[in-house]
A and B are shown apart, each in its own frame.
Chain A
């Protein structure tokens, strides 16, 4: 089972790179949906079956795999945009940076004082790599939608780390985190709409016009 989990984690990291390399927003959203579904399956693979676990799996697949991507998709459709153009750093450099960060996260995970049963798994490096990917997306992309996706990816990374503790983590905490995420996406959706209405574009770099002189 653990082998299968590791393979899925590799897939998660590959999806990270896919998102860094693509310019098409719809494709990014689908990728993040797939990543969400994988995250939903993962707890079932590493922990023994329980109703708690089943609920978590169901809720996560629903939220990360279906609901949130749907919401972002709607936002993209309404704002009439298809591509991220002119990111602050180009696709190939970010892709390379993503690879470097993934490698670094392996180095870093080696040095963390982890419990012995977590040592061999890819969970920690994968989670750190995903987190850093999210950061990269947030910093390099210009469109608000891409930033929402970056935020989602980052959250996925945090979730991966939390999986190690899934047994100990009460259901309420996870539900709270998911609710947070959902609300965050809602707020961002509203913000995106407002930005696109106000500036007739969703380029966040225009927001600097709001700064106090």
Chain B
């Protein structure tokens, strides 16, 4: 409908971006914060509908116009357009930001929170700048949009700026993002140096034999990889996602990380080929991120930190897919290209869906239980009958279990790797399959722990006992996301159809080739199996419930283990549940334990056992390095002594030196 109004998807998207960018302005002008927040949400919904209709039009082959802006800055004219690659990222962007905006009405109500206006303003800018990042075809415009995104992300994440934790992670985020942007400056300057303009080079127009090609790709990998949260540049991510308001974390994890992935894909598309090592490096980085990320997640006790670490894992899986595709391109094996790209692209959409769902769910839980510690929750399934199944859907999806969407993306990667194992003379790429299996297994442990500790058992704290279900404005968006997850999982052909034009466009492959390879992936059997599975679950569930109703019942606490007076503290905690995994993977997680000296059978009163999961890159490498640097430069502080006379003397000395420099 909206499309007919404007007649052009690109214009549609630009209007949507403008609406989102301006959505916070009423909050600045109007004196009624509640009304202005509603206006903002209304604008966001309009923008999301407009955007989605444009995305659908683009995916169905409707061409998008190219806009050229002659701006007065000295960087030449600017191009704005959309292609299939941008569309892939725009699809979840509008859906999730619309959901998040509705959610924020109840989660961060302007009636109670004074900083809601600020949050709304930056939320709009954040979403709009991401649209611009995806649509810019000019290095400078791209970097401007990128910076607006990074900075509004900073302001969003420091919403509760009085908290010292928030301040710390804010600074870390700022340092990380600007270090990345610095690398991107190099990338785009070099690209401008090669092509003579800041406009993006056409597809595959640059030769890989150019001397700067490797530098461009490496700096892009550094800059964009840092934003995507690829190991070892992920260190800003867990803290940032954990300390931001939950709907902001949903946007950051679901959408902003993907901008890094987009950046890398876009940069790679400029070149006609790649250095041989690149695909393998990306696979390795992806595998490293996936395994490390999920291991870190397994050990966490903080609900949102756990979800954040699992984002690293998912980004890793996406990068494994991209790496497979690159390897396939180098070795001229189309099945790797197709499976890798399908896997990565489908996972990009899926991760945006289920991770936003989970983060929104975490917001509901934090709202209800008043804490982020999962070891203080428990028994919430009974108290939150809507959130609980929604969270379960998200958890199952993120583990990559059928019948949910997470499985579809990984299925393609598995098929690619296994085909490689069968066909290739030296099946190195096949090693991806065991990595994925390991990651999947660890993910199941992690999310069984998460769901079990939070929702099952008995409440471990007072606030968890008095937890209550969230209002519909919060559960509604989650239901929408959960339905999307289910639909995409039940009908994987839907996802495949959405992604096929993107794969054809990006991989430069003919549709018959793609169809031939996707034909080998058991999608129809999967659909049938999914339907069977759901029917079976429903059938058994109904039978079980009916049987349960007939049988005599006794009340007791879960995991009471037959004690007469069980307490909530006797239950499994998240830490104890994951202890074995953490111990096995101690090299990655490196938990810090502080235990009392045991002299007798029973430790003395007041002894405590502390157990914290540390973060290797940040806590063991970067923080010490920064501290040493601070120490090493502390002598410079003597120069700043507060004696005005000596300050003037500095100027005097400089002048003197300059006067006699040449003479």
Chain A residues with CB under 8 Å of chain B are 88, 108, 111, 132, 135, 138-142, 147, 204-205, 207-212
User: Are A111 and B655 in contact, CB atoms less than 8 angstroms apart?
Assistant: no
Q: A108 contacts which chain B residues (CB < 8 A)?
A: 659-660, 663
User: Are A139 and B655 in contact, CB atoms less than 8 angstroms apart?
Assistant: no
Using CB atoms, name the residue of chain B closest to A150.
B648
User: Are A204 and B645 in contact, CB atoms less than 8 angstroms apart?
Assistant: yes
User: Are A135 and B648 in contact, CB atoms less than 8 angstroms apart?
Assistant: yes
Shortest CB distance A168–B (Å)? 24
User: Are B645 and A88 in contact, CB atoms less than 8 angstroms apart?
Assistant: yes
User: Are B648 and A138 in contact, CB atoms less than 8 angstroms apart?
Assistant: yes
Using CB atoms, name the residue of chain A closest to B663.
A111
Q: B640 contacts which chain A residues (CB < 8 A)?
A: 211-212
When chains A and B are docked, how far (Å) is the Cα of A211 from the Cα of B651? 19
Q: B607 on the interface (CB 8 Å rule)?
A: no
When chains A and B are docked, how far (Å) is the Cα of A207 from the Cα of B642? 6
Shortest CB distance A106–B (Å)? 13
Say whether, besides A108-B660, A135-B648, A139-B648, A208 and B641 are in contact (CB < 8 Å): yes
Using CB atoms, name the residue of chain B closest to A212.
B640
User: Interface majority SS on A: helix, strand, loop or mixed?
Assistant: helix
User: Interface majority SS on B: helix, strand, loop or mixed?
Assistant: helix
Q: List 5 additional A-B contacts (Cβ < 8 Å) besides A142-B645, A207-B643.
A: A132-B652, A135-B652, A138-B648, A139-B646, A205-B644
Q: B545 on the interface (CB 8 Å rule)?
A: no
Q: B649 on the interface (CB 8 Å rule)?
A: yes
Using CB atoms, name the residue of chain A closest to B645.
A139
Query: What are the interface flags for B435-448 relative to A under an 8 Å C-beta threshold, 1 for contact and 0 otherwise?
Result: 00000000000000
Shortest CB distance A132–B (Å)? 8
When chains A and B are docked, how far (Å) is the Cα of A88 from the Cα of B643? 11
Q: How many residues of B contact A (CB 8 A)?
A: 15
User: Are A208 and B643 in contact, CB atoms less than 8 angstroms apart?
Assistant: yes
When chains A and B are docked, how far (Å) is the Cα of A88 from the Cα of B648? 13
User: Are A208 and B645 in contact, CB atoms less than 8 angstroms apart?
Assistant: no
When chains A and B are docked, how far (Å) is the Cα of A86 from the Cα of B652? 21
Query: What are the interface flags for B621-663 relative to A under an 8 Å C-beta threshold, 1 for contact and 0 otherwise?
Result: 0000000000000000000111111101101100100011001
Using CB atoms, name the residue of chain A closest to B643.
A208
When chains A and B are docked, how far (Å) is the Cα of A140 from the Cα of B648? 10
User: Are A138 and B645 in contact, CB atoms less than 8 angstroms apart?
Assistant: yes
Using CB atoms, name the residue of chain B closest to A138.
B648
Shortest CB distance A86–B (Å)? 12
Most chain B C-beta atoms within 10 Å of own C-beta, residue among A88, A111, A135, A147: A135
When chains A and B are docked, how far (Å) is the Cα of A139 from the Cα of B645? 4
Chain B residues with CB under 8 Å of chain A are 640-646, 648-649, 651-652, 655, 659-660, 663
Shortest CB distance B452–A (Å)? 50
User: Are B660 and A205 in contact, CB atoms less than 8 angstroms apart?
Assistant: no
Using CB atoms, name the residue of chain B closest to A135.
B652
Say whether, besides A135-B648, A135-B655, A139-B648, A211 and B660 are in contact (CB < 8 Å): no
Shortest CB distance A11–B (Å)? 24
Q: B663 contacts which chain A residues (CB < 8 A)?
A: 108, 111
Shortest CB distance B645–A (Å)? 5
When chains A and B are docked, how far (Å) is the Cα of A205 from the Cα of B652? 18
When chains A and B are docked, how far (Å) is the Cα of A140 from the Cα of B649? 9
Q: B646 contacts which chain A residues (CB < 8 A)?
A: 139
Most chain B C-beta atoms within 10 Å of own C-beta, residue among A138, A140, A142, A212: A138
Shortest CB distance A90–B (Å)? 14
Q: B660 contacts which chain A residues (CB < 8 A)?
A: 108
Shortest CB distance B661–A (Å)? 11
The residue that B642 contacts in the complex, of A132, A139, A147, A209, with Cβ under 8 A, is A209
When chains A and B are docked, how far (Å) is the Cα of A101 from the Cα of B608? 72
| Complex A-B: 26 CB contacts under 8 Å | A108-B660, A132-B652, A135-B648, A135-B651, A135-B652, A135-B655, A138-B645, A138-B648, A138-B652, A139-B645, A139-B646, A139-B648, A139-B649, A141-B645, A142-B645, A147-B644, A147-B645, A205-B645, A207-B643, A207-B644, A208-B641, A208-B643, A210-B642, A211-B640, A211-B641, A212-B640
Q: B643 contacts which chain A residues (CB < 8 A)?
A: 205, 207-208
User: Are B648 and A208 in contact, CB atoms less than 8 angstroms apart?
Assistant: no
Using CB atoms, name the residue of chain A closest to B659.
A108
Most chain B C-beta atoms within 10 Å of own C-beta, residue among A88, A108, A138, A139: A139
Q: A139 contacts which chain B residues (CB < 8 A)?
A: 645-646, 648-649, 652
Using CB atoms, name the residue of chain B closest to A128.
B659
Shortest CB distance B657–A (Å)? 12
Shortest CB distance A94–B (Å)? 12
When chains A and B are docked, how far (Å) is the Cα of A142 from the Cα of B642? 13
User: Are B648 and A211 in contact, CB atoms less than 8 angstroms apart?
Assistant: no
Shortest CB distance A145–B (Å)? 13
Q: A111 contacts which chain B residues (CB < 8 A)?
A: 663
When chains A and B are docked, how far (Å) is the Cα of A162 from the Cα of B659? 18
When chains A and B are docked, how far (Å) is the Cα of A207 from the Cα of B652? 20
Shortest CB distance A60–B (Å)? 25
The residue that A211 contacts in the complex, of B642, B649, B652, with Cβ under 8 A, is B642
Shortest CB distance B436–A (Å)? 53
When chains A and B are docked, how far (Å) is the Cα of A198 from the Cα of B645? 19
When chains A and B are docked, how far (Å) is the Cα of A207 from the Cα of B640? 12
Q: A132 contacts which chain B residues (CB < 8 A)?
A: 652
User: Are B644 and A140 in contact, CB atoms less than 8 angstroms apart?
Assistant: no
Shortest CB distance B132–A (Å)? 40
Q: A204 contacts which chain B residues (CB < 8 A)?
A: 644-645
Shortest CB distance A153–B (Å)? 13
When chains A and B are docked, how far (Å) is the Cα of A205 from the Cα of B655? 23
Q: A208 contacts which chain B residues (CB < 8 A)?
A: 641-643
When chains A and B are docked, how far (Å) is the Cα of A60 from the Cα of B663? 34
When chains A and B are docked, how far (Å) is the Cα of A208 from the Cα of B648? 14
Shortest CB distance A165–B (Å)? 19
When chains A and B are docked, how far (Å) is the Cα of A88 from the Cα of B660? 26
When chains A and B are docked, how far (Å) is the Cα of A204 from the Cα of B641? 13
Shortest CB distance A149–B (Å)? 13
When chains A and B are docked, how far (Å) is the Cα of A111 from the Cα of B659? 10
Using CB atoms, name the residue of chain A closest to B641.
A208
When chains A and B are docked, how far (Å) is the Cα of A111 from the Cα of B662? 10
When chains A and B are docked, how far (Å) is the Cα of A108 from the Cα of B659? 8
Q: A210 contacts which chain B residues (CB < 8 A)?
A: 642
Using CB atoms, name the residue of chain B closest to A112.
B663
